[in-house]
Structure 1
Amino acid sequence: MIKLRELEYLDAIVRYKHFGKAAEACHVSQPTLSGQLMKLEEQLGLQLIERHRRNVMLTPAGETLIKDARNVLKAAKTFEESARALLDPLAGDMHIGLIPTLAPYLLPLIVENLNSQLPRINFYLHENKTEVLLQELNSGKLDLLVLPWLDEMEKFERYDLFEEPLLLAVHPSHPLAECKQVNISVLEGQKILTLEDGHCLRDQAMDYCFTAGANEDHRFQATSLETLRHMVASNRGITLLPKLATLNVTATSNIRYIPFKEPQPVRNISLVIRPNYSRMDSIRAIATSIRNSVKQAV
């Protein structure tokens, strides 16, 4: 009979394409992982993996069966979650995914309350780009995501948490630096510093900028909001930053944050889960805690 552990080994090999890394991720020795995969192939009468000196790849049979293997692993995880929820709906491990343009600024506001209000839940936090987080949510590696809602997430379910305004960040020497508020139309003809591809904030901010008639500054693309902040402080350009990223930062005379007049550019932060996720009592409690923690900040 095929064991779940063997399917986990197969999944790890596909993800890491390396026996040593896959074994480390599964907390077993490389010979153990390799031997169990060979046993699985013998049981099925099929070769699933092509073994080469420098890399590992799936055979056509492996490509077909890995999808079923992942569905089985996902179903097993759902079964365990449902059983735990029956014992105590507000207990157990909870893996939360967040994006790099939100996690460093949101977590200080919410973690203390989450831990105090839900003490029997063990929170594990994972930071990555949106595409990776959605894949890991879909595969069952993550329980929920907290990130800006995008149209491409339609197959998931969401709980709206809060709207986060985007602020204009400029150097004190910029003509707009002394403005208390500005219309989005002031961006017409301006060049905007942006994040590199792969950050959903880049696309959201540039949608507003393009609509206002601004252009992207192609001389530089940042890997983080902190890099954007330093570029503005060095008088190398202007950008849009989410409000949470402008709170509790080290005071500096080299940057001004200017709110927009209504209608403000915003990003809608949501709690995202898989359809039919079983631990809904926990999800509702987490959503309520986050909303209350952020209410005063934005």
Structure 2
Amino acid sequence: MIDKLEFFIALAREQHFGRAAEECGISQPTLSAAIRQLEENLGVGLVVRGSRFQGLTPEGQRVLEWARRIVGDTRTMREEMRAARKGLAGHIRLAAIPTALAMIPKLTEPFQAKHPEVTFSVVSRTSLQVLSQLENFEIDAGLTYLDNEPLGRVTSVPLYAEHYTLVTSEGTPLSDRKEVTWKDMAGLRLCLLTPDNQNRRIINQHLASAGVDVRTMLESNSMVVLLAHVGTGRWASIMPRNVARSFGFSAQIRTIPIVEPKASHVVGLVATHREPFTPLVSALLHEARNLGVIDPD
């Protein structure tokens, strides 16, 4: 039954029989047969069928909630028994918003020093993708904003607050200032994260509140791309202070605090709310709480 529930979760996530089968490492006929067996066992139809996948039935949506809970509990039990036999070991999958990537070593380095048999993988995702992948068991935990948009049913631990700066080259407009305001951003050639990133939505909100209509000259989902363009001297950007400083800019690059108002937003660790947590996630949350609030400077 557990394997069939895992297949069903994969199908709901991929919304395509072929892709779900590939992800599960089985053939498409095997996946289809397993879903039909699950439907027969439960006595309800789970999938709206046609020439291709057309979604879940209302009963399928409800079964999906139970499947996530049952599969999650089963994985927790297995990890707990493995930890009891061998100590804490395994792999933690993390997803982080682009602006939080530079802060991840603050968490992973002390954690791995205490638990050397644990490995990590880290991917960059938008805040919405972080929450979606948590729900679908694609990641174990994420780093995202805690105070700007709804999080849903998660456990969260605050890690640090973002403070925003203008990042620009010497000799460009405003580069000689010690502070700038959000209104000062008008007329700059800005490069910013793409609108699907919450950081961009936050920046747009603050600019709109200041009555500034900015024309963004370049967008990217990569902070590296933005920083590289700022380095050419032709673009400026608005970035969290910790991100700008983590790249070790040359003396020609200025990071200037943005004030009036001085905005900040909290970033933290999130995990699917459940009791008990897997041993790995429980230990990671414990480490995050031990860190307290990290000073991003």
- In 2, the alpha carbon distance for the partners of 1:107 and 1:283 equals 12
Q: How does 1:202-281 map to 2 (within 5 A)?
A: 202-249=200-247, 251-252=249-250, 255-260=253-258, 264-279=262-277
2:114 pairs, out of 113, 117, 121, with: 117
- In 2, the alpha carbon distance for the partners of 1:205 and 1:26 equals 40
1:20 pairs, out of 18, 21, 25, with: 18
CA offsets per residue over residues 188-247 of structure 1, 9 Å max, x none?
A: 644554322210111222333333343232444333223333443445443211223223
In structure 2, relative to structure 1, the CA distance for the partners of 1:281 and 1:5 (3 Å cut) is closer
Q: What's the TM-score once normalised by structure 1's chain length?
A: 0.79
1:56 pairs, out of 53, 63, 68, with: 53
Is 1:138 the equivalent of 2:139?
no
3-state SS of paired residue (1:49): coil
CA RMSD of aligned residues (A): 3.4
> In the alignment, residue 287 of structure 2 is paired with which amino acid?
I
3-state SS of paired residue (1:5): helix
Q: How does 1:42-191 map to 2 (within 5 A)?
A: 42-50=40-48, 55-58=52-55, 60=57, 61-80=59-78, 90-103=88-101, 105-149=102-146, 150-153=148-151, 155-179=153-177, 181-184=178-181, 187=184, 189-191=186-188
Q: How many residues align?
A: 291
- In 2, the alpha carbon distance for the partners of 1:45 and 1:156 equals 32
- In 2, the alpha carbon distance for the partners of 1:118 and 1:83 equals 17
3-state SS of paired residue (2:99): coil
CA offsets per residue over residues 4-60 of structure 1, 9 Å max, x none?
A: 11111112122223333212211233333233223223334544335555x323453
Q: Is the 8 A contact 2:88 2:118 kept in 1?
A: yes
**Offset of residue 287 of structure 1:** 0.6
> In the alignment, residue 111 of structure 1 is paired with which amino acid?
T
Q: Is the 8 A contact 2:10 2:23 kept in 1?
A: yes
In structure 2, relative to structure 1, the CA distance for the partners of 1:219 and 1:175 (3 Å cut) is closer
Show the counterpart of 1:30: 28
- In 2, the alpha carbon distance for the partners of 1:154 and 1:160 equals 16
- In 2, the alpha carbon distance for the partners of 1:28 and 1:154 equals 33
